Amino acid sequence: MANPALGYTISEENIEESISTSSVETTRTETLCQWIDSLQSPWPHGALEACSDTTLSMSPGPLTVFAFDISPSKRDGSLVMGQLLPDGRIGIAVLETYHSQVSIDELKMAASIKEWCNLYFPRIVCFDKYTTASIATRLENSGVRIQDVSGAAFYTACSDFHEALSNNRLVHSGQELLVQHMNNCAAKTNDSAWRIVRRKSAGPVDIAIGLAMVVNQLSQPVSEAKVYS
């Protein structure tokens, strides 16, 4: 049904060659006539599903990092978290999303993030200075430790995120919005790196951007307190 011209203008050999030389996304759309979220997804096929665990539970205590971001329209935003789990993997989740018909109230968003910080006590809260600097300033003034992850640092964050996802060092509970934003992602590449890009993505990606930031921070070597005598 997906190839009604089979046996007339195309052969099984043609289809076999197309599948062997095309990406999974291209094969699904061009050969199987299936709808996918993004033709330019940077994630390995099936990697997100492989990292899903509906029994995942995260609570205050372990090393935790937050990140927040807003969409270019300023109507949607999100707060995400990453936590270093006992088995060495990084648990990721969406804590809260924000929406407005006109523009997000940044004061209320900052107050909400602060409330979550008072609950989980994250080591750091990540942001992009080009999109959320004013919210970050409010958080810093309230005593929250913030970290800018933009520009070249975000290229590194995306690479760390991809590497952790590919090697099953991440785990998530399958939250619908998390999965959707990940599936929306498209990539921009240069000679040596890549990053998630908003403009070419199939929809909102602020959750994915925030997750890249937290995974980057939690992938750094963790120092341990030692007493020398």
Quote the pLDDT of residue 37: 47
Q: What residue type is assigned to position 36 of the chain?
A: I
Q: What residue type is assigned to position 199 of the chain?
A: R
Quote the pLDDT of residue 36: 54
* Most distant CA pair in the chain, distance: 83
What is the C-alpha separation between 161 and 155, in angstroms, rounded?
10
Are 60 and 196 a contacting pair, CB within 8 Å?
no
pTM: 0.81
What is the C-alpha separation between 138 and 136, in angstroms, rounded?
5
Angle, alpha carbons 38-93-181 (nearest 5°):
15
SS3 98: strand
Q: Within 10 A of 94 (CB to CB), how many other CB atoms are there?
A: 19
Closest among 134, 144, 132, 141 to 70, alpha carbons compared: 132
pLDDT tens digits for range 71-99 = 998 999 999 999 999 999 999 999 999 99
SS3 121: coil
In order of start, what are the domains of the chain with their CATH numbers?
12-36 (no CATH), 47-218 (3.30.420.240)
Quote the pLDDT of residue 196: 93
Quote the pLDDT of residue 223: 60
Are 65 and 161 a contacting pair, CB within 8 Å?
no
pLDDT < 50 regions, the chain: 37-39
Are 58 and 120 a contacting pair, CB within 8 Å?
no
Measured in Å, how far apart are the chain's first and last C-alpha atoms?
75
Quote the pLDDT of residue 210: 97
Are 81 and 95 a contacting pair, CB within 8 Å?
yes
Report CA dihedral (129, 198, 209, 179) to the nearest 10 degrees.
160
